[in-house]
Amino acid sequence: MSNSQQNSTTYTGDIIGGVPVITHLNLDDLESGKIYRFMFQGSNMNIGQHWYVPVMVAKGNKSGKRLLLNTGIHGDELNGSRVIQQLFANLDPTQLSGSIIGVIQAAPNSLFHISRTWYSSTDSGEFTNMNGIFPGNKDGNSAQIHAHLLWNHLWHNNCDYAIDLHSQSTDTEYPLFVFADYRVAAIKTMAELIPADQIKNDEGEKGTVETTFVEHGIPAITIEIGAARSYQSEYINRTLEGIKNILNHLKICDYPLGRNAASYGSFIGNQMHSVKAITGGYAEIKVNLGDTVVQNQEVALQRNAFGDVIHTYLAPVNGLVLSLGTGATREAGGLLVRILY
């Protein structure tokens, strides 16, 4: 196969639910002024069948910036999928300058198991946090191969900016919250176009989707949208408002500007501290998302099965409550309260 063929959008010839299957995407191949749907072929299972990732592409009539919206790296974090669905439901590609890619359930294995981690059926089983292994490994396990395919054949060469959509994990909850590396001016601008409750100026973690893009010179942010396993319409709508601000800023689409971090009053911090359970027990959280807390304020306690208080937890710093453990039971190491300051 020639290099030009390898770099072209590659169709397998298969159709799933009326949608064509591809193994490589190249936006340059697509006709302008249209919205496309694809099933991207990922790594395969122990039975030899493949995992498939639904992809939507809106290619504008005019050239311009390319924005990637990705969701589903963690399989129990669902709010982002509705953000992308709602955006594409009302897009007119003939009015776009540039392109928008919407990736739904980027880690379908994790979605299938309703789990934060990818399950590999190797020996006795293996669990992988997908948001720590990018840009992947073509010779690794099924999760690492899938990450390699996403990075090299779907994402990297098709976008100029990227937004990775998450939520908090099962039994925990965020408000609308943004991770952004403020060392890059374009990233700071993107983050502050979101009417978020809180923003963390954060240098990122190697292997995450966001940081991998940043390391390759592509401005990227992570938006954490509320809680896991459900749709929360207020957070979804506010995220959509912010993404439309970014599309306006990038001159991809002429949306009217909505609220941003400044007008919404977003709290911006650069440190966070997680108060975690030191023992197993029944947890009672004493604060709410967004509450201001002061050092040594009681933020949580745990009881044993008989209702006796076995531990009280105090805030170690002054700040705002960023995240809560919502499950009534917590074992040692489980999140109770996270504070941004």
| pLDDT 10s digits, 27-55 | 999 999 999 999 999 999 999 999 999 99
Nearest to 222 by CA among 237, 236, 203, 209: 209
Q: In this structure, are residues 26 and 129 in contact, taking their beta carbons and an 8 Å threshold?
A: no
Q: List Cβ neighbours of 259 (8 Å cut-off, separation of 6 or more).
A: 195, 238, 241
**Whether residue 3 has pLDDT greater than 60:** no
Residue 300 belongs to what H/E stretch?
A: strand 298-303
Count of other CB atoms within 10 angstroms of residue 231 = 14
For range 155-160, the mean pLDDT: 97
Q: Which residue has the tokens 């924005």?
A: 67
Return the pLDDT at 122. Answer: 83
Phi, psi angle pair for 31, to nearest 5°: -70, 140
**Whether residue 196 has pLDDT greater than 90:** yes
Residues of the chain with CATH 3.40.630.10: 3-268
Residue type, position 314, single letter? L
CATH code linked to domain 271-340: 2.40.50.100
pLDDT-based confidence at 4, cuts 50/70/90? very low
pTM to 2 decimal places: 0.96
CA separation for the pair 256, 156 (Å, rounded): 29
CA separation for the pair 109, 51 (Å, rounded): 7
For range 206-221, the mean pLDDT: 98
pLDDT-based confidence at 6, cuts 50/70/90? low
Residues of the chain with CATH 2.40.50.100: 271-340
34-38: which pairs have CB atoms within 8 A and are 24 or more residues apart?
34/58, 34/59, 34/93, 35/59, 35/88, 35/91, 35/93
- Burial classification of residue 7, based on how many CB atoms lie within 10 Å of its CB (0-12 exposed, 13-18 middle, 19 or more buried): middle
Q: In this structure, are residues 285 and 323 in contact, taking their beta carbons and an 8 Å threshold?
A: no
Task: Mention the CATH class of domain 3-268.
Answer: alpha beta
